[in-house]
Amino acid sequence: MNNHEIDYKIHGEEMQCVEIELDPQESVISEPGSFMMMTEGINMATLFGDGTEKGLMGKLFSAGKRMLTGENLFMTAYTNVSNEKKQVTFAAPYSGKIIPLDLSELGGKVICQKDSFLCAAKGVAVGIELQKKLGTGLFGGEGFIMQKLEGDGMTFVHSGGHVIEKDLQPGEILKIDTGCIVAFTKDVQYDIQFVGGIKNSIFGGEGLFFAQLRGPGKVWIQTLPISRLAGRILQFGTTKNGEQGGVLGGLGNLLNGDGL
């Protein structure tokens, strides 16, 4: 085992947090902004990248990729410097579920949405997974640039809404909205497909492209991508009373006294 072995407990239902229990000298890494609380005896240290890169060039290359994709250049490591067990807790940034992933049981690598990583045992490498196919790169949307989590330790990702876990058999295909993908194991093949049909493309309302995942492997799916939630909030925030410009909107204005 190259990673620190950590114990954990997930609290809550729809607004979850994960409590990590650290033995003496054990560490956990996290993205900035996910920290919630910790007990006395834990030391915080800022890492350039995730702390697994070797040499100056390796660190600069990793940081450059993270910067190009909008990720933070630094991570925070929390280390138990006391002689007894201590706890540190991390919270998800929006309503949904926290998914624990044991990389030692998942082939040593999981690919996930680039904003879904929450925290991991120190030693897990957090990198960038660029889709190599031209079509995937041009039309992949949220699924184009993803994170890869490599190692043999525990890592935690968060999702929006409810989580569905599917085991794909060899050759089995799942077609899915790119934003609904949370994570999948390394043997799953990822591609982008055109919806097809002029009416579907223009009037379907679901976009021109969807993701195609081909087994074998495991896939985690979220019911509420943050982009979909943000888009709906923006829609209601920029129209008066959330109205859609129809008859009911006008009636609402009259009832509120706005049309008098």
pLDDT in tens, 218-255: 999 999 887 777 777 777 777 655 454 444 454 444 44
Distance, CA of 167 to CA of 142 (rounded, Å): 22
User: Which sequence spans correspond to the domains of the chain?
Assistant: 7-229
Q: Identity (one letter) of the amino acid at 12?
A: G
Mean pLDDT, residues 162-168: 95
How does pLDDT run across 44-87, given as a tens digit for each residue? 998 876 666 566 666 666 666 666 656 667 889 999 999 999 99
What's the CATH fold of domain 7-229?
A: Double-stranded beta-helix (3.60.160)
Give pTM, 2 decimals. 0.79
* Average pLDDT value for the chain: 80
